[in-house]
Amino acid sequence: MSTARLRPENYYEARGFSVYYVANAVFNIVSNSGAYLRGIEDILGDMRVLTLMRPFHRYTNLHHFIREISVDIVTEEFDDIEQDHRFLREFLRIFSVPFSEEAVQDEESFWDFASESTRFHEALDELTDEVFHVLFGDVVFLQKFNRLCANYIEMSGFGDDLKTRRGTLRRVAIPVWARRAIFYRDKGECRACKRSLSCSDQAPG
Instruction: Judge whether 91 lies within some domain.
Output: yes
Interval 6-54: pLDDT, tens: 444 444 455 655 788 899 999 999 998 877 766 788 888 775 777 888 8
Instruction: Judge whether 184 lies within some domain.
Output: no
Instruction: Judge whether 105 lies within some domain.
Output: yes
Residues in the chain: 205
Cβ neighbours of 65 (radius 10 Å): 24
With a CB cutoff of 8 Å and minimum separation 6, the contacts of 16 are 94
| Secondary structure E strands in 114-158 | none
- Whether 98 shows a pLDDT value over 80: the answer reads yes
Instruction: Judge whether 27 lies within some domain.
Output: yes
Q: How far apart are CA 118 and CA 107, in angstroms?
A: 18
Phi and psi torsions of 94, nearest 5°: -60, -40
Q: Helices 86-94 and 17-31: crossing angle, nearest 10°? A: 120
Whole domain around residue 23: which residue ranges? 19-173
**Most distant pair of Cα atoms in the chain: their distance:** 60
The domain total for the chain is: 1
Instruction: Judge whether 203 lies within some domain.
Output: no
Cross-strand bridge partners of residue 189: 196
Long-range contacts from 161-164, C-beta under 8 angstroms, 24+ separation: 162/53
Residue 125 contacts residue 95 (beta carbons within 8 Å): no
- pLDDT for 16: 55
Instruction: Judge whether 2 lies within some domain.
Output: no
12 or 67, which is more confident = 67
Q: How far apart are CA 146 and CA 158, in angstroms?
A: 18
Residue 77 DSSP symbol: G
Interval 117-167: pLDDT, tens: 999 999 999 999 999 999 998 999 999 999 998 888 877 776 677 777 776
Instruction: Judge whether 114 lies within some domain.
Output: yes
Instruction: Judge whether 5 lies within some domain.
Output: no
Q: How far is CA 191 from the centre of its chain?
A: 24
